[in-house]
A and B are shown apart, each in its own frame.
Chain A
Amino acid sequence: MDSKTHLLTQIIAVLVLVLNNFSGLIFSPYKVMRKISRVFDYKQIVAIFILVFLYFLSVGLIFGHSIANFIFFLVSFFATVIFFYISGRLYKYQVSILSLVATWCYSLFPTVLWFSITAVLFILFPPPRTQSFLGTLLSLVFIGISVVLLLWKITLVYLAVRFSVKSSALMTAFLMILYGMWFLPYTYALYLFSISRVPFI
């Protein structure tokens, strides 16, 4: 097998693994997140980062948004990972930073999905929504989708922290509240500086 074929095979294999894990997070999030937390595959992480970068690139090209938002995403992502690593260590848990990176990467799936759906809907049905029958119906559907993805995101974040930090449910909830205590002001600061309205995390 020559090097090009080998590379292509590797890329296809990684994409299949990522898609398999993504579908697993829909049907059995607990089992799949546990598996992700135990096996660190940097190729899958790179693939997910490329997917996120493609989102920022396409939004940048279509809507003229700054590609620098990707840098802010990276800052938020690694700040989150470091926060859970340090706080887990402070409470004497055996935290694995690689496990945190992998699980947080996979918990980005609902985020990418929501942002992509919103961008497509922005083109198809540009806001503001009216109070006509169709405007209200679209608002209902859009809010419904947003709530479903938010609940799924919260579940994946909970599982990511629980499996990476190996904390109890109460401790995981406590760590998530602590995280919210600095992340919400950070999000508000990003909003004030017109960087992002909804945090990409």
Chain B
Amino acid sequence: MTDSTFRLLQNKLHETYELQPNRFKVAFVDSVFTTVAKQLKTFPFKWYVPAAMVFALFCWIVSKVVHVGLLTRLASILQYGF
């Protein structure tokens, strides 16, 4: 085994044991957390974009039905926020 391969393996081993695994003592929570975390580890935008669209549509529906102008008011407030 070359020095570089050894160092690579050593780094991988360190990475594996660097953080304690997440255990919640409830099997269902463990499984949900593992599934969600796995999805968010690579390109999380595949979930963020639909979630944001749903949220924006929800705001739009609320602004139409319950609170007229909520959506535009929220956007205006945020636009002054920079």
Q: Which residues of A contact B (CB under 8 A)?
A: 26-31, 34, 59, 115, 118-119, 121-122, 126-131, 135-136, 138-148, 151-152, 155, 162-163, 166, 168-170, 197-198
**Is B43 touching A146 in the complex (CB atoms < 8 A)?**
no
* B74 and A139 contact, CB distance less than 8 A: yes
Main secondary structure of the interface of A (DSSP, over half): helix
- Chain B residues near A166: list those with CB within 8 A: 18-20
CB-CB under 8 A from A115, the residues of chain B are 82
Bound-complex Cα distance A200 to B20 (A):
31
Chain A CB count within 10 A is highest, among B20, B42, B78, for: B78
B33: min CB distance to chain A, Å: 7
The answer to whether B51 touches A152 (Cβ under 8 A) is no
6 tightest A-B CB contacts, nearest first: A139-B75, A198-B81, A147-B52, A127-B79, A129-B72, A30-B41
Docked Cα-Cα span, A146 to B57, in Å, equals: 14
Chain B interface residue count: which class?
35 or more
CA distance A152 to B18 in the complex (A): 24
Output the least CB separation between A136 and chain B (Å).
6
Distance A135 CA – B60 CA, assembled complex (angstroms): 12
Interface residues of chain B, those whose CB is within 8 Å of chain A, are: 15, 18-20, 22, 24, 33, 40-45, 48-49, 51-53, 55-57, 59-60, 68-69, 71-82
Contact among B49, B56, B69 with A143 in the assembled complex (CB-CB below 8 Å): B56
In the assembled complex, 14 residue pairs joining A and B whose CB atoms fall closer than 8 Å, in A order, are A31-B41, A118-B82, A122-B79, A130-B72, A131-B68, A140-B60, A144-B49, A144-B55, A147-B56, A148-B45, A152-B44, A155-B44, A166-B19, A169-B33
- The answer to whether residues A28 and B43 also contact, given A128-B72, A131-B72, A162-B19 and a CB cut-off of 8 A, is yes
Q: Which chain B residues lie closer than 8 Å to A140 at the CB level? A: 56-57, 59-60, 71
